[in-house]
Structure 1
Amino acid sequence: MLLFCIVNLCSCEKFLDAKPTNVMSHPNSLENLRALLDYEPPIISSFAGHGELASDDFILDYTGLSYLLPYMKDAYLWEDRGIEGGTWRAGYNSISIANVILESLDRIQGGNQKTRDQLRGEALFLRGWMYFNLAQIYCEPYSISKENNDLGLVLRYDSSAEFKAKRSSLKETYQQILEDITNAVDLLPNIAEYKTRSSKLVALAALARIHLFIENYEMAENCVDEIFIIKSDLLDYNTLKTNDAIPINLNNNIELLNFAESNTVSYLITHASTVINPILYDMYEENDLRKLIFYEPNNLGMKFKGFYHGVKTSAFYGLAIDEMYLIKAECLARKNDVTTGALFLNKLLHHRFKSGYFAEKTYLDNNQLLEDVFKERRKELVFRGLRWYDLRRLNRQSIFAIELTKKVQFPNENKTYVLEPNDKRYTFLIPIEAIDIGGYEQNPR
């Protein structure tokens, strides 16, 4: 009955709704709360794929483009019209579940304190992490060096279906994100029993990513250092079978911190018309094993197969140790510690090249190291939703800003689409349905 009620919650049509059933409104035991958090679809599969569709790592021909759903085509060509609302709805559905957990913990008395702490920590992490991922799609990039008076998200602190609120400021949104996930760290176990649950490692990795994106490099590095005290092992790609359909999976990927995915881009991954951008593929050196483990040829070019969670029909949107090495190297480069930064980057690459073929890299200045870190982020973290987020944050620095172009050969003409750095289209429109129901202010165009 409890799971049935959750399914009802997932299918509810309001954009900021909450508890549509009495069971969902009033869970009466810690076991009920555990069941809510262990029901996986709204917890691990609600991540937006819009940025992946809009990024420059993949190319679709006209045939592939013509089969896309309208909102996917809009995202790919940077012509978003706000017609897709499922991502917004799914994110706020997960936030409502988190709020139900937090409210219920305040109401339900007794029970094991360790269990209560873990449930509270998982709920706080879920809420903060969903806010962060929604902000990457629907809000302007945030930086600790800016005033950040731009529009933020609609912040929900309870699960009432009667809840009404305007959009917060961007600063308020990130204050809530950081508060939720930071508070979760000390409540969670170091390592979760299951990869679908959050843990201290997962929360720290999320904070490392967030602080990197908002340019708080000192805090990002501190989070990585805490992670490496507990876990720092890298997967040696020399131990993988490069000819396997999916060389990396849940059984052999020791780098995996948590399991999360985006089903939004499953079509993009599996369709025969989707090929890797040759510019990206040509970045890999001859003896880089990622060329064999991440890609395979098809009739049109190179096809992606390097699913980091071992699921072929969805994109991996979780957190992993390899990303932490890249964050550490970037943070060190940002404070001009080029020598140490190179050590962390080289250690990661040692595990990616054929044994005996990797030559350690040295750098004369921090900009050289940063350029290589950004290249390795693109090559290592491919199809994890991060390319779009990196473009958004690096556009703020003119030395690293990139103009994106996409060319499409239509039946009667060839068209070139251009996205300039810091274009307003780097922020997607709030879904029209949400605007109509909630009366929220729309993102500028």
Structure 2
Amino acid sequence: MNKNIVILSIFILTTFLSCDHYLDIEPKGVRLLETVEDYDLWLNSYYGFYPYEMNLLSDLSDKLDVSDPPVDVNSRVYTWQAQFDEDISSSTAPFWRTHYQFIYTLNAVIKNIDGASGGTTEEKIRLKSEALLGRGFEYLHLVNLYGKVYNPSTANQDLAVPFVTGIDVTDEIPNRSTVQEIYDHIIADITEALPNLPQDNSDNRFRGSIAAAYSVLARTYLYMKNYELAAINAQLAIDNSLDPILDYTEVLNMPEFPRLVKRPGTIYAKYGSTGIEFPTLDFLNSFEANDLRRTMNYTQPWSGPTPQRGEILFIHYGSWPISNAYPNWGTSVSEMRLILAETAARANNLEQAIEELHLLREKRFKPEDYVKYESLNQEDVLQRVLLERKFEFAFNGLRWYDMRRLASEGRMPEVYRYGADNTVISTLSPDSNRYTLQIPIQVMSFHPDWEQNP
């Protein structure tokens, strides 16, 4: 590929096919990116479709058709195998491939927008800033998949992923950066982007904004366990979004759930791919009666006996009669409220933590069904916040990241996978190496000098 030619794939996500390179990109059906308008349209393609296999890693997911021993990719993901696809010639690598494809898209803007024709200097700076925000968001996923949980005492030694900034797939690939280096890059990208991002993205929540940048920083600092900065940025995200939490009681009177592109309460929208997903019975039973999140996103129990495994289904587009309730895999006001609640609980500021919980929970029950949560016990309040994160973000790819950070502080129990006959076929212990994914062997085959994760 000529370094001076940037290619725009007509089918951004569906025509990236395999090639002999770790980025796994072979663009098909292309035209040149030449104008500012071209780059603007290019960024419109950055709306997600993250792999739903992220949900298969979660302790909230059940899978009755898991093979034993696990053979297919989904069964291997679900049982936390070291490698999800053992065919070295395969182009699967569902997590690695997806995030680096998005990074390729974003790097094209960062590297070449200044040379585009048309548009103003301000427009070029804005588009570059949106791409920097997106790149930070993608690396936040990657460092929490392939790097250890952030530990300030070891982050400078713990390996993560290569930080790729180029768009020429023939360039030499950098070595794996450390966890600290990737987090530093994430914060640097978003900090550089912040002054030049638009204030309002309410016409297209998939695009960047000031609130979106603060929200990604809030999540970043939460994963770094820097709770003070997480809280500061979560509040800034709320202050700049000017959006309330989406009120589910109001949705009941709507013909369909608000579309994600303009959904109130969404700060930075991203789609996830859909699959047939079953929640565990333990998770279903943890919902309070009349919780509208249970009503709107899960098929209802059969009348009569208690539901059995596989009888309740998570519905990505919403349970009848609510439609279009696709979960947001990006950031939201509700996530920022829960970050504020968690950071307050960890600081033993229980009054604030409970108030933040109230601001969310009152929008998830009909008024006649709502009971405000109250407690004077710090650990109970923190556990309640973590439970609300389960309810709110059960199948939008976030649960695995929570499991990782909670396991690192001794707050995760062992997680079991059951076969169709209810026998245990796999166990994930709190100290398991599987909480950090191995680099796919398809990638390692091109970089045999890289150190593999345990």
Task: Give TM class, smaller chain.
Answer: 0.7 to 0.9
* Residue type at the aligned position of 1:316: N
Looking at structure 2, the residues matched to 5 and 381 of structure 1 have their Cα atoms a distance apart, in angstroms, of 29
* Mapped contact 1:52–1:383 kept (Cα < 8 A): yes
- Aligned partners of 2:63, 2:354: CA distance in 1, in Å? 36
Alpha-carbon contact 2:16-2:25 (below 8 Å) kept:
no
Query: Per-residue deviation at 1:418?
Result: 0.9
Determine the structure 2 residue equivalent to 1:284: 287
Deviations 1:139-169 (A, max 9, x none): 2211346444111111112222232221111
Cα deviation for residue 5 of structure 1 reads: 8.3
Which segment drifts farther, 154-163 or 427-436?
A: 154-163
Following the alignment from structure 1 to structure 2, what is the Cα–Cα distance between the partners of residues 311 and 138? 32
Partner of 1:37: 43
Task: Classify 1:267/1:332 alpha carbon distance in 2 versus 1 (closer, same or farther; 3 Å).
Answer: same
* 1:311 shift after superposition: 4.8
Task: Check the 8 A contact 1:190/1:200 in 2, yes or no.
Answer: yes
Q: Does the C-alpha gap of structure 1 residues 58 and 363 become closer, same or farther in structure 2, counting only changes over 3 Å? A: same
Matched residue, 2:179 = 170
Asked whether the 8 Å contact 1:82–1:430 carries over to 2, the reply is: no
CA contact (8 A) 1:149 1:170 kept: yes
State which drifts further: 115-124 or 314-323.
Answer: 314-323
| Amino acid in the other structure paired with 2:334 | D
1:28 pairs, out of 34, 43, 46, with 34
Please give the alpha-carbon distance, in whole angstroms, between the structure 1 residues aligned to 2:239 and 2:195.
15
Partner residue in 2 for 1:272: none
State the partner residue of 1:76.
78
Q: Distance in 1 between matches of 2:254 and 2:244?
A: 24
Tell me if the contact between 1:9 and 1:20 (Cα under 8 Å) persists in the aligned partners: yes
**Structure 2 residue runs without a partner (length 5+):** 1-6, 86-91, 303-309
- How far the C-alpha of 1:243 sits from its partner, in A, is 11
CA–CA separation in structure 1 for the residues paired with 2:64 and 2:94: 26
Report the secondary structure of 1:257's partner residue. Answer: strand
Deviation, 1:420, is 0.3
Which structure 2 residues correspond to residues 230-245 of structure 1 after superposition, within 5 A? 230=240, 231-241=242-252
In structure 2, relative to structure 1, the CA distance for the partners of 1:81 and 1:191 (3 Å cut) is: same
Structure with bigger helix share is 1
1:357 aligned residue (363, 369, 377): 369
Amino acid at match of 2:80: W
Report the counterpart of residue 122 of structure 1 in structure 2.
130
Residue type at the aligned position of 2:162:
V
Cα RMSD after superposing both structures: 3.0
Distance 1:6 1:286 in 2: 43
> Is contact 2:15-2:27 (8 Å) kept?
yes
Counterpart secondary structure, 2:16:
helix
- Cα deviation for residue 425 of structure 1 reads 0.8
C-alpha separation in 2, matches of 1:248 and 1:27? 33
Percent pairwise identity: 25
Aligned to 1:339: 351
User: What count of residue pairs does the alignment treat as equivalent?
Assistant: 427
Residue 245 of structure 2 contacts residue 333 of structure 2 at CA under 8 Å; is this kept in 1? yes
2:194 is aligned to: 185
Structure 1 gap segments, 5+ residues each? 270-274
- Give the alignment's TM-score, normalised by structure 2: 0.85
Match of 1:381 in 2: 393
Pairing of 1:199-238 with structure 2 (within 5 A): 199-230=209-240, 231-238=242-249
The alpha-carbon distance between structure 1 residues 310 and 388, as it changes in their structure 2 partners (threshold 3 A), is farther
The aligned amino acid for 1:277 is T
Give the distance between the partners of 1:11 and 1:321, measured in 2 at CA: 36
Give 1:408's aligned residue: 419
